[in-house]
Structure 1
Amino acid sequence: MSRITLSGPSSGPMFAPLLRGTYYRAIDPNFAGYAIAGSRRAGRYSRSGEPTLYLSSSVEGVEAAMIAHHDARPSSLQIVEIDVEATGIFDLRDESSLRNAGIEVSDAIAPWQEIANAGGTPRSWKVRDRLIEMGANGLIDPSRKRPGLWHLVLFRWNEGNGPRVHVRNSG
């Protein structure tokens, strides 16, 4: 089970309080040294070339997320633990925040891959754009494959006063 805490003041009226804990990410073992470099390919919340760090709050969350990416992943994956301390995180599970931000959860969970592959702009990319415009550093994304699980998506990290992440030393 993840050691994640929510505490302290939020960095804005619609942002979650401080998130601090261990998150998980599946990576190709050949690229273990780049575990916190973020994804560079297009993703649900990122255009190609827009660095985004996709993490899960649990190992089960990583496994659920990989269901949607079975054709694009290497045959062998390593799950790494990443310690995170972040503010400015928007919680897509919070109906009041969604309403106040003018965001529809249906836009966040809408299919995106075919639209992106055809050169279009998926609705979830517009959600990211809106959140960045509001000053968000990332978002909490509920799992579509396993209700109750959730993911942390960082738009920026290890720069300025943004979220801090580092690979947890094993052992």
Structure 2
Amino acid sequence: MISRGKEVVAMDHGEPVIRRDSALMRTVTGSFFRAVDPAYREAALSGSRSAGRYSPPGVPTLYLSSSQAGVDAAMVAHTRDKAPDLEVLRFSVDAARIADLRDHDALRSVGIEPADAAAEWQDVVAAGGSPSSWRVRETLERLGAQGLIDPSRKQPELWHLTLFKWNTDGAPRVREVRAR
């Protein structure tokens, strides 16, 4: 990657482009990936409806990875509910007002402790609780965020994009890119 002022430009690896808009918010454009059960392929753009790191059950949230390697890393944490044969789909994304969880100083400046985003969530949900990462989302939404950049906990050089809303007026635009 190379940097031009406030803009970070991806080289020819197909990596998404991230532009810094403020201390916390970014604009993100490019290709992203998502693993789905082939039986639910047509609903892939509907987002996840089950509980997730940043989503209570029933709250649609679109979880994407910035690379196919990111999909593999993310799936390590979801071995208990993973379908045996997942299909990796590619999406084109144009998203503004995305909070960057990799910038710990910016998070703390708005009252978010980075450890709350990274804390264990699956066992908390299984026990009927609300994980701290759901409160991180709530705070970011109050600040106008439409999603977040989430660093991979398995491989720190990788990252994911979580969208709180998409494909509605004023929200990030996401479309599937189908192979020709």
Q: Fold conserved (TM > 0.5)? A: yes
State the match for 1:114 in structure 2: 123
Answering whether residue 23 of structure 2 is matched by residue 4 of structure 1, we say no
1:42-70 CA distance string (max 9 Å, x none): 00000000000000000000000000101
Query: Equivalents in 2 of 1:76, 1:83: separation in Å?
Result: 23
TM-score by length of 2: 0.90
Query: Equivalents in 2 of 1:98, 1:3: separation in Å?
Result: 24
Answering whether residue 72 of structure 2 is matched by residue 63 of structure 1, we say yes
Query: Equivalents in 1 of 2:37, 2:24: separation in Å?
Result: 35
Query: Equivalents in 2 of 1:148, 1:15: separation in Å?
Result: 20
Deviation at 1:5, TM superposition (A): 1.2
Say which SS state the counterpart of residue 35 (structure 1) adopts. Answer: helix
State the match for 1:14 in structure 2: 24
Deviating above 3 A after TM superposition, structure 1's stretches of 4 or more consecutive aligned residues are: none
1:110–1:124 Cα contact (<8 Å) kept: yes
Unpaired runs of at least 5, structure 2? 1-12
The AA in structure 2 aligned to 1:59 is Q
Say which SS state the counterpart of residue 88 (structure 1) adopts. Answer: strand
Deviation at 1:13, TM superposition (A): 4.9
Q: Which one of the candidate residues 73, 94, 97 is aligned to 1:85?
A: 94
1:2–1:23 Cα contact (<8 Å) kept: no
Unpaired runs of at least 5, structure 1? none
Say which SS state the counterpart of residue 78 (structure 2) adopts. Answer: coil
Answering whether residue 64 of structure 2 is matched by residue 52 of structure 1, we say no
Cα RMSD of the aligned pairs, angstroms, is 1.2
The AA in structure 2 aligned to 1:142 is P
Deviation at 1:100, TM superposition (A): 1.4
Paired residues, what number?
A: 168
* % same residue: 47
